[in-house]
Amino acid sequence: MKLAAPDPAFLSRLEALRLSVRSVRWGNRLGGRFTINRRGSSVEFADYAAYTPGDDIQAIDWSLYARLDKLFVKTYREDVELTVDIIIDATASMALPSTDKFLRACRLAQCLAYIAAAGGHQVRVSAIRPGPLARSPWMIRRSDLPRLTEWLESVEPEGTTELSAWMRQAVAALRMRGGQALVVSDWMHRQADAFRALQALRGRHMELKIVQVLSPDELEPARLMKGGMVEDVETGRTHALAYSPAELADAIAQHNEQLARFCRRNGILVAQHRLDERLETFLFSRLPKFGFVA
């Protein structure tokens, strides 16, 4: 898969955008512009927090325990950089009805990573697919874009994996915590599995944003229906089609609405991007309206 190199004029427009940031609870690199309260030790005391299993017992304030009979640990103020994880779906469904969908997902990841790096954040991309965890090197400067593009070009959509299981593995292996996660997928996963995957990220105090990339054919399934059978590209199984085009379109609309409702209820920003929409329109006109960038 070949990604076109963005021209200088396009990159200049991307540099004018900034990721919207509601809160930062953690950072892997010190010296940034976001102030957090961190358990442990540092120069500037910030506050007390209730002790939770796993906290360093040396951080417990025993004089406070003597007065209140409750365990509290000291937290300290530190300035950190925002950690941004961009996660792209690289399972087989992203190559249907054509590879244009996966190519657009990679192009979006490329642009969002550049926006993050231009804003002074550290960013990496990982791919949802079976097998060993696939992730890019950290992108810290705008000049790291060619290296990230080369990594994206090495990823091909294939196979199937349980989304929630992959996410649980990824958040532990990549030590995701308190940063920002942007997940780009068609979100044509079983809803219970998709919701568990998003909860795995929320459990690490990640600020979540998701982009749903869909082709017009997927939103208007009558274009794809031929005969009375359908094949699941991820499992290879065929199924008799028991729905009319209108019923199938309604089922897809309900699926997408339930995804959007779950996201609204849990404070997750969501945007849907159709392949017949120009990428420039989505990035520069619609993403600011959705609150992804400013």
The predicted-structure confidence for 24-48, as pLDDT tens digits, reads as follows 555 544 444 544 444 444 545 555 6
- Distance of alpha carbon 171 from its chain centroid, rounded? 11
**SS3 at position 257:** helix
- The model carries a pTM of 0.78
The first and second tokens of residue 18, run together, are: 């900034």
Domain 8-24+81-290 has CATH 3.40.50.300: no
Residue 195's pLDDT is 97
Mean pLDDT, residues 77-103 taken together: 87
Residue 199's pLDDT is 95
Look at phi and psi of residue 286 and say left if phi exceeds 0, alpha if psi is from -120 to 50, else beta.
Answer: alpha
The predicted-structure confidence for 195-248, as pLDDT tens digits, reads as follows 999 999 988 888 899 999 999 988 887 666 555 555 555 556 666 656 677 788
Checking if the pLDDT of 16 tops 90, the result is yes
Mean pLDDT, residues 270-281 taken together: 96
Q: Are 210 and 291 in contact (CB under 8 A)?
A: no
Find out whether the peptide bond into 97 is cis, omega within 30 degrees of 0. Answer: yes
Average of per-residue pLDDT values in the chain: 84
Residue 231's pLDDT is 57
Residue 39's pLDDT is 43
Domain residue ranges in the chain: 8-24+81-290, 35-79
User: What whole-number percentage of the chain has pLDDT above 90?
Assistant: 56
The closest alpha carbon to 86, from 119, 114, 49, belongs to: 114
Checking if the pLDDT of 93 tops 80, the result is yes
Mean pLDDT, residues 268-281 taken together: 96
The predicted-structure confidence for 162-190, as pLDDT tens digits, reads as follows 999 999 999 999 988 878 999 999 999 99
Neighbours of 59 (CB within 10 A): 17
Residue 243's pLDDT is 64
